[in-house]
Amino acid sequence: MATAPIRPLPRGPHSLSRDEVLASQRGRMIEAMAETVAAKGYAATTVADVVARAGVSRKTFYEHFGDREECFLAAYDAAVDALLRAVAERVAAGEPEGDDWRARVRAGVRAYLDALASEPAFARTFLVEVRVAGPRAQARRAEVHARFVDFLRSQAVLARQDHPWLPAVPDAVYAAIVGGMDEVVSAWVADGRTADLAQLEPDLSYFQLALLAGPEIAKEALA
């Protein structure tokens, strides 16, 4: 989820195409929204705050977004996409032991926490401010939870192909994992402990493994 520091485009003639300029402006406004919301809260954030931080005009803002809410949802979507990508890539890479499904669970949890810790503004947008950003944001949050449920379910299916003894669990279990992890991590982010999220990895890995395979398997994996 790493992003470059926000800086305005150079004044005067430059070699960027219009598409590149628009992409750059949109990205800067999305990042500016996340940074401003993290600092002031969603309710206090204004379009003026975002354009000032992004170094663009109000006209440019409204060329990309219909209103403040639309820009916030775009920032939320950007955080979600980057987060899911980071988790999927880490799990696919097989860290630390590609042939051990329990290690892949821990790798996914670690990637999730590392990605959030590396981008505290987006972490606060993704986990905390989205809860108070209105009905559309709540609906989007529910959709995102469903995406994480789908990801966990797909990983469990792969694990059972290699380990047929693993039990199939109801979808409500995956929803409980996603919701439980969200609550725990959100509390740490809200308390300003985003940089320390890696400390949660053993507990969250145990939680996930225990629900998927039982507490004894979880204890062995974390021994």
CA distance 146 to 152: 10
Position 197 scores a pLDDT of 96
130 — phi, psi (to 5°)?
Answer: -60, -25
For 73-86, write each residue's pLDDT tens digit.
999 998 888 888 88
CA distance 2 to 68: 23
For 15-71, write each residue's pLDDT tens digit.
444 455 456 889 999 999 999 999 999 999 999 999 999 999 999 999 999 999 999
200 touches 120 (CB < 8 A): no
Percent of the chain scoring above 90 in pLDDT: 59
**Mean pLDDT (whole number) for 190-206:** 95
18-64: CATH topology:
Arc Repressor Mutant, subunit A (1.10.10)
Q: Could you tell me how many residues make up the chain?
A: 223
**Mean pLDDT (whole number) for 178-189:** 96
Can you identify the CATH homologous superfamily of domain 68-222?
Answer: Tetracycline Repressor, domain 2 (1.10.357.10)
CA atoms in the 13 A half-sphere facing the CB of 73: 17
**Mean pLDDT (whole number) for 207-213:** 92
Percent of the chain scoring above 70 in pLDDT: 87
CA distance 18 to 129: 32
- Give residue limits of the domains in the chain: 18-64, 68-222
> Which among 94, 121, 89, 122 is positioned nearest to 106, based on CA atoms?
94
**Encoded amino acid at 173, one letter:** V
- Token pair belonging to 166: 């693993």
Average pLDDT, the chain: 86
